[in-house]
A and B are shown apart, each in its own frame.
Chain A
Amino acid sequence: MAHNSDVRPIAGAIAMTAKTLFEKIWDEHVVYQQSGQPTLLYVDLHLIHEVTTPQAFEGLRVASRKVRAPERTFGTLDHNVPTTDRTRPISDPESATQVEAMRRNCAEFGIKLFALGAREQGIVHVIGPELGLTQPGMTIVCGDSHTSTHGAFGALAFGVGTSEVEHVLATQCLWQVKPKTMEIWVGGRLGAGVTAKDLILGIIGSIGIDGATGHAIEYCGPTIAGLSMEERMTVCNMSIEAGARAGMVSPDQTTVEYLRGRPYAPQGAAFERAAERWLSVRTEAGARFDSSHRFKAEEFAPQVTWGTNPGMVVEVTGKVPEPGAIADPAARAAAARALEYMGLVAGTAITEIKIDRVFIGSCTNSRLSDLKAAAAVAKGRKVARGVQAMVVPGSQQIKAEAETLGLDRIFKEAGFEWRESGCSMCLGMNADILKPQERCASTSNRNFEGRQGPGGRTHLVSPAMAAAAALEGHFVDLREFRIEPLG
């Protein structure tokens, strides 16, 4: 991907008045600051799930501490819950223990939990926005690296570890070293068949998986402004795959309209007042970033990862790269190792790679528009012989909406499995896993070794690309695929 980048020193001597979105939120949330030390930041919204919290609650109990602001913490069950019939108890005893611990902890400390069976249940980064909990200008943390998703609303949202979860529960604050800011500007129009997923995969391929380490990214420019909230969430979601803890978009009318009427958003006149405040946290003209990258939307094609990290990505029209052609010895060795793990031969056309499994889901691509895009491809067709394909909606609410639109029928008639909401095969903590050597077209965000099951081989793609691969049994260039719009 051709792009321009430049690193600009901050002008220390020049008084800067124009502020970025990031700076506005940061400054607004400083509780305590002393030079040479991290800043104590206030956390507006804390989201929790069953996997990264039991040890945090245990820590509170051991120290006889309370949760400072239980009304600012919300819990869901998503990472290891089954996506099959939920009327029966969880059969895996360890998962059941973790889910039970979450229920007990939330009850004991007075935290609202969207449990299995609740109509709000779903993947933590899907339900926050869907319920209107996620709002512009907020600081949001969660014991999960894809918390960057919420930055799509113009919030400063980042993932933390379990010790920090415990710290937030006890104090509603976090010590943070101020990250640098990075602008990723995209102009122009994405071509037909090229989605927000392809955009972010292409960006990661270009700047590298540690290209934004230590930075908060703001995605800017006309292309980003033209994206829907769901598309912006897909982009911000994968900021961590470029090393950034946070990825954000300045709030605009699209943001405001998405939030209108959501259950936890302000209502009536309070909403209008809030909207005015939200729009005021935008990055101002002339504000400076520590570094900047510029891209042209027209230069992006549908993307497919070939290796074992998200930066190992090529266009669908491309080939599996030749490690020998890579100059850097460490990158060359990593590419060779990745090809061995992935069972791929250098020089193979991407469209010749056959797949065994398809996973449409995860906090990257499990929202209604993602399911619609996949359904439009699947409609009236059949999953290829020998391919097992599943669709896992991000939340129970999305599942219900999709069923109202008849998407479940389209998928089932085509031979896809239609599941209950959760993280599912994005990380395979539940029963949804790849078998060793199985190859999967996945709409999730990580293709690390073993991510979807020990020995499993993951190729990251957009929902429509995943659906098309399911039908053909191998990757196809979506732009050559006939798609009827859904009726």
Chain B
Amino acid sequence: MRAFKNFTGLVAPLDKSNVDTDQIIPKQFLKSVVRSGLGAGLFYSWRFTPQGAEIPDFVLNQERYRGASILVAGANFGCGSSREHAVWALDDYGFRAIIAPSFADIFRNNCLKNGLLPVALQAGAVRRIIDAAGARAGYRIAIDLERQTIADEQGQREAFDIEPFYKQRLLEGLDDISLTLAHGEEIAAYERRHLPPYPRL
């Protein structure tokens, strides 16, 4: 996994709650057998007409938000399907962090496995960021994972929570599987005392 580095990035506001993974990456992009290139399908039905032309109103199509690396959205972001393609698409498009009042469980897990930082803040704080990103061109936020804070240039500063275990993995870009394989002894011991698997039919 790519290690998470502190950064300052342009903020794009998506003022909707319950953004589901079917919207983040529609099914026609799930036929891929690779992880890369999914940014092209990100928010496809909101970004493009059925003929493939950009819908100018949609936030990511507005000139001032091009190159955004932080997405700020409403509550329960990433609900629905478990498709990790949603995270791959956000990442491939260039997002490095998502700020929202809350995240769906599986989506949040998928973020943490891919170095995309889910930042959960109080609804009021998220509202201020959405409003600021709408009001000021070039509105940017600095994210500091070590200190667990975000701050804008106007002085809004917020702290966020993250489990120490996941924070460590993000900062070091650690590969989960090698860490787990280091517990090979414990797994083997568990298998010896646990029930045998299925009969081979």
**A in complex with B:** yes
Q: A residues touching B (Cβ–Cβ < 8 Å)?
A: 31-32, 36-38, 40, 42, 44, 51-52, 54-55, 58, 63, 65, 68-69, 71-72, 79-80, 92, 94-95, 97-98, 101, 133, 143-145, 159-164, 166-167, 170-173, 175, 177, 179, 209-210, 213-214, 240, 243, 245, 263-264, 309, 330-331, 334, 337, 427-429, 436, 446, 448-451, 454-455
In the assembled complex, how far is the CB of residue B134 from the closest CB belonging to chain A, in whole angstroms? 14
Asked if A213 contacts B180 (CB within 8 A), the reply is no
C-alpha spacing A63/B177, complex, angstroms: 10
For A240, what are the chain B residues with a Cβ–Cβ distance below 8 Å? Answer: 80
B109 interfacial by beta-carbon distance below 8 Å: yes
Asked if A40 contacts B33 (CB within 8 A), the reply is no
Asked if A210 contacts B75 (CB within 8 A), the reply is yes
Asked if B187 contacts A42 (CB within 8 A), the reply is yes
Tell me which of B18-26, B55-63, B142-150 binds A.
B18-26
C-alpha spacing A163/B179, complex, angstroms: 14
Asked if A36 contacts B165 (CB within 8 A), the reply is yes
C-alpha spacing A68/B32, complex, angstroms: 26
C-alpha spacing A36/B168, complex, angstroms: 12
Asked if A210 contacts B79 (CB within 8 A), the reply is yes
Asked if B186 contacts A40 (CB within 8 A), the reply is yes
Asked if B190 contacts A449 (CB within 8 A), the reply is no
For B198, what are the chain A residues with a Cβ–Cβ distance below 8 Å? Answer: 71-72, 133, 264
Please provide the chain B residues from 22 to 76 with a CB less than 8 Å away from any CB of chain A in the complex: 22-23, 26-28, 30-35, 45, 50, 74-76
B105 interfacial by beta-carbon distance below 8 Å: yes
For A309, what are the chain B residues with a Cβ–Cβ distance below 8 Å? Answer: 18, 20, 79
Asked if A446 contacts B199 (CB within 8 A), the reply is no
C-alpha spacing A309/B186, complex, angstroms: 43
Residue of A with least CB distance to B163: A177
Asked if A80 contacts B104 (CB within 8 A), the reply is no
Asked if B22 contacts A446 (CB within 8 A), the reply is yes
B113 interfacial by beta-carbon distance below 8 Å: yes
Interface of B is mostly: loop
Please provide the chain B residues from 172 to 201 with a CB less than 8 Å away from any CB of chain A in the complex: 176-177, 180-181, 183, 186-187, 190-191, 194-195, 197-201
In the assembled complex, how far is the CB of residue A150 from the closest CB belonging to chain B, in whole angstroms? 14
C-alpha spacing A455/B81, complex, angstroms: 19
C-alpha spacing A98/B191, complex, angstroms: 33
With known contacts A428-B27, A449-B22, A171–B180 Cβ distance under 8 A: yes
Given contact pairs A42-B191, A213-B105, a sample of 7 additional A-B residue pairs in the complex whose CB atoms are under 8 Å apart: A31-B183, A159-B82, A177-B163, A213-B76, A309-B79, A455-B45, A455-B50
In the assembled complex, how far is the CB of residue B48 from the closest CB belonging to chain A, in whole angstroms? 10
C-alpha spacing A167/B50, complex, angstroms: 37
Asked if B33 contacts A163 (CB within 8 A), the reply is no
B87 interfacial by beta-carbon distance below 8 Å: yes
B8 interfacial by beta-carbon distance below 8 Å: no
For A171, what are the chain B residues with a Cβ–Cβ distance below 8 Å? Answer: 177, 180-181, 187
For A214, what are the chain B residues with a Cβ–Cβ distance below 8 Å? Answer: 105
Asked if B109 contacts A161 (CB within 8 A), the reply is yes
For A144, what are the chain B residues with a Cβ–Cβ distance below 8 Å? Answer: 81-82
With known contacts A42-B187, A263-B201, A449-B45, A145–B33 Cβ distance under 8 A: no
C-alpha spacing A54/B82, complex, angstroms: 15
User: Which of A80, A164, A213 is in CB contact (< 8 Å) with B102?
Assistant: A213
For B164, what are the chain A residues with a Cβ–Cβ distance below 8 Å? Answer: 36-37
7 A-B contact pairs sorted by A residue (CB < 8 Å): A80-B31, A143-B82, A160-B106, A163-B176, A173-B187, A210-B76, A210-B79
For B27, what are the chain A residues with a Cβ–Cβ distance below 8 Å? Answer: 427-429, 451
For B20, what are the chain A residues with a Cβ–Cβ distance below 8 Å? Answer: 309, 446, 448
With known contacts A95-B31, A145-B82, A161-B110, A175–B176 Cβ distance under 8 A: yes
Residue of B with least CB distance to A212: B105
For B30, what are the chain A residues with a Cβ–Cβ distance below 8 Å? Answer: 51, 79-80, 429
C-alpha spacing A143/B110, complex, angstroms: 11
Residue of B with least CB distance to A158: B106
For B114, what are the chain A residues with a Cβ–Cβ distance below 8 Å? Answer: 163
Asked if A451 contacts B22 (CB within 8 A), the reply is yes
B83 interfacial by beta-carbon distance below 8 Å: yes
B152 interfacial by beta-carbon distance below 8 Å: no
Residue of A with least CB distance to B16: A334
Asked if A37 contacts B165 (CB within 8 A), the reply is yes
Asked if B197 contacts A69 (CB within 8 A), the reply is yes
For A95, what are the chain B residues with a Cβ–Cβ distance below 8 Å? Answer: 31
For B87, what are the chain A residues with a Cβ–Cβ distance below 8 Å? Answer: 161
C-alpha spacing A42/B196, complex, angstroms: 13
Residue of B with least CB distance to A143: B82
User: Which of B18, B33, B79, B104 is in CB contact (< 8 Å) with A101?
Assistant: B33
Asked if B177 contacts A170 (CB within 8 A), the reply is yes
Asked if A145 contacts B80 (CB within 8 A), the reply is yes
Residue of B with least CB distance to A330: B17
B84 interfacial by beta-carbon distance below 8 Å: yes
Residue of B with least CB distance to A334: B17
In the assembled complex, how far is the CB of residue B11 from the closest CB belonging to chain A, in whole angstroms? 19
C-alpha spacing A161/B176, complex, angstroms: 14
Residue of A with least CB distance to B107: A161
For A94, what are the chain B residues with a Cβ–Cβ distance below 8 Å? Answer: 31-32
In the assembled complex, how far is the CB of residue B46 from the closest CB belonging to chain A, in whole angstroms? 9
Asked if A450 contacts B22 (CB within 8 A), the reply is yes
C-alpha spacing A337/B81, complex, angstroms: 21
For A334, what are the chain B residues with a Cβ–Cβ distance below 8 Å? Answer: 16-18
C-alpha spacing A40/B180, complex, angstroms: 8
The 5 closest A-B pairs by CB, nearest first: A161-B84, A163-B113, A54-B33, A161-B110, A94-B31
C-alpha spacing A145/B186, complex, angstroms: 29
With known contacts A31-B187, A65-B177, A213-B102, A161–B33 Cβ distance under 8 A: no
For A263, what are the chain B residues with a Cβ–Cβ distance below 8 Å? Answer: 201
In the assembled complex, how far is the CB of residue A97 from the closest CB belonging to chain B, in whole angstroms? 6
